C-alpha cells in the first residue's frame, strides 16, 4: 500500500520522508494557498525531497487549458510530478490526451464509483475519491472506497490505482488497509497518529527504567 502525504508544506515532507516510508505527495490549490508560497517552487522542492509521484493540480476548466497547464508543469518540473485534473467531462478529455502522451494523471474530486470507472477508462494513473467530504454530508465515505474496489474486482483489466483522499482520522486509513485501497494520502498529523501508541511509549519508559537499574548494578 502506498502512503502519500497531503500537504504543500516542504518541512512536513522533509520530516515524513526521513522516516523512509513516504511514497508520494498530493497538493491542491487550497494547500498551496495555505503555504503562502509560489506553486511551482513548492512542487519542485517537494519533488526533490520525495522520489514518488507528486500531484500538481491544474486550474483550467476546459480540456485544452488543462492539457496546456499539464504540459507546462511537466516541462518545467521534475520527472516525478504527475498532473491532477478534476473529474469532469473536460477533465476526462484532458486525462485521455495527457495519458496518451505517457503523462501520469491523478483524477481528483471523485464522489461516485461511475466517476472513478470513467476516469480509469480515460487512462488515469490514480483516481482520488474524497472520503472525508462525503462523511461531512452525513453519508459514509468508506462505502465509496468499497464500491470502487468492488468495481475494480469486477473488471480486472483496470490498472488505475485507487488513492483514498480527504482522510480525516486514523480509522479512515485502517479501513482503507482492510479494504485494499492501493494508496492513501493523508495530512502529517495522521502520519504521526498512526505511529503513536501509549503502550509503545510506556513500554519504552519501563525498559529504560529497568536498564538504568541494570547499569547501576554494574551488569551492563
Ligand atoms: C487530495 O488529493 C486532496 O488534496 C485532499 O485529500 C483533500 O482533502 P480535504 O477534504 O481535507 O481538503
CA nearest ligand 1 atom 8, residue: 166
> Considering only CA atoms, which of 125, 122, 157 is closest in space to residue 53?
125
State the cell numbers at 72: 507546462
Residue from 25, 129, 134, 165 to probe ligand 1 pocket by mutation (most atoms less than 8 Å from CB): 165
pLDDT digits 0-9 by tens, 155-214:
999 999 999 999 999 999 999 999 999 999 999 999 999 999 999 999 999 999 999 999
84 as an active site residue: the answer is yes
Q: Ligand 1 center to residue 145 CA distance, Å? A: 15
Q: Which residues fall within 8 angstroms of residue 180, CB to CB, at 6 or more apart?
A: 149
Strands (E), the chain: 2-6, 24-26, 54-57, 81-86, 105-110, 126-129, 161-164, 183-186
Q: What share of the chain is helix, strand, coil (3-state, %, to 5)?
A: 55, 15, 30
Q: How many domains does the chain have?
A: 1
CATH code assigned at 85: 3.20.20.70
- The neighbouring-strand residues paired with 6 are 26
Residue 105: which domain range? 2-219
For cell 518540473, what's the residue?
77
The H or E element containing residue 49 is helix 39-49
> Considering only CA atoms, which of 97, 123, 5, 91 is closest in space to residue 54?
5
pLDDT average, residue stretch 68-87 = 98
Strands (E), 19-132: 24-26, 54-57, 81-86, 105-110, 126-129
The Cα–Cα gap between 154 and 164 comes to 19
CA nearest ligand 1 atom 10, residue: 166
pLDDT digits 0-9 by tens, 96-124:
999 999 999 999 999 999 999 999 999 99
The percent of residues in the chain predicted with pLDDT above 90, rounded, is 99
The ligand 1 site (C-beta within 6 Å) comprises 6, 26, 28, 108, 128, 130, 132-133, 165-166, 185
- The neighbouring-strand residues paired with 7 are none
- pLDDT of 220 strictly over 90: no
Max CA separation in the chain (angstroms): 75
pLDDT of residue 135: 98
Amino acid at each position: 500500500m502506498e502512503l502519500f502525504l497531503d500537504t504543500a508544506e516542504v518541512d512536513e515532507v522533509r520530516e515524513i520522508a526521513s522516516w523512509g516510508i513516504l511514497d508520494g505527495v498530493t497538493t491542491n490549490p487550497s494547500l498551496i494557498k495555505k503555504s503562502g508560497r509560489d506553486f511551482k517552487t513548492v512542487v519542485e522542492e517537494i519533488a526533490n525531497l520525495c522520489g514518488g509521484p507528486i500531484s500538481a493540480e491544474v486550474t483550467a476548466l476546459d480540456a485544452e487549458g488543462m492539457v496546456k497547464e499539464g504540459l507546462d508543469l511537466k516541462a518545467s518540473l521534475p520527472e516525478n510530478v504527475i498532473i491532477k485534473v478534476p473529474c469532469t467531462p473536460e477533465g476526462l478529455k484532458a486525462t485521455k490526451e495527457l495519458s496518451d502522451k505517457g503523462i501520469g494523471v491523478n483524477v481528483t474530486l471523485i464522489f461516485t464509483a461511475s466517476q472513478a470507472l470513467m476516469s480509469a477508462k480515460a487512462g488515469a494513473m490514480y483516481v482520488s475519491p474524497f472520503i472525508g467530504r462525503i462523511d461531512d454530508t452525513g453519508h459514509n465515505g468508506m462505502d465509496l472506497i468499497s464500491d470502487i474496489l468492488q468495481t475494480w474486482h469486477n473488471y480486472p483489466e483496470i490498472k488505475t490505482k485507487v488513492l483514498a483522499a480527504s482522510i480525516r482520522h486514523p480509522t479512515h486509513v485502517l479501513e482503507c488497509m482492510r479494504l485494499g485501497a492501493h494508496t492513501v494520502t493523508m495530512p502529517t498529523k495522521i502520519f504521526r497518529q498512526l505511529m503513536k501508541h501509549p503502550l509503545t511509549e510506556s513500554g519504552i519508559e519501563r525498559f529504560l527504567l529497568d536498564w538504568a537499574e541494570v547499569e547501576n548494578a554494574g551488569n551492563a
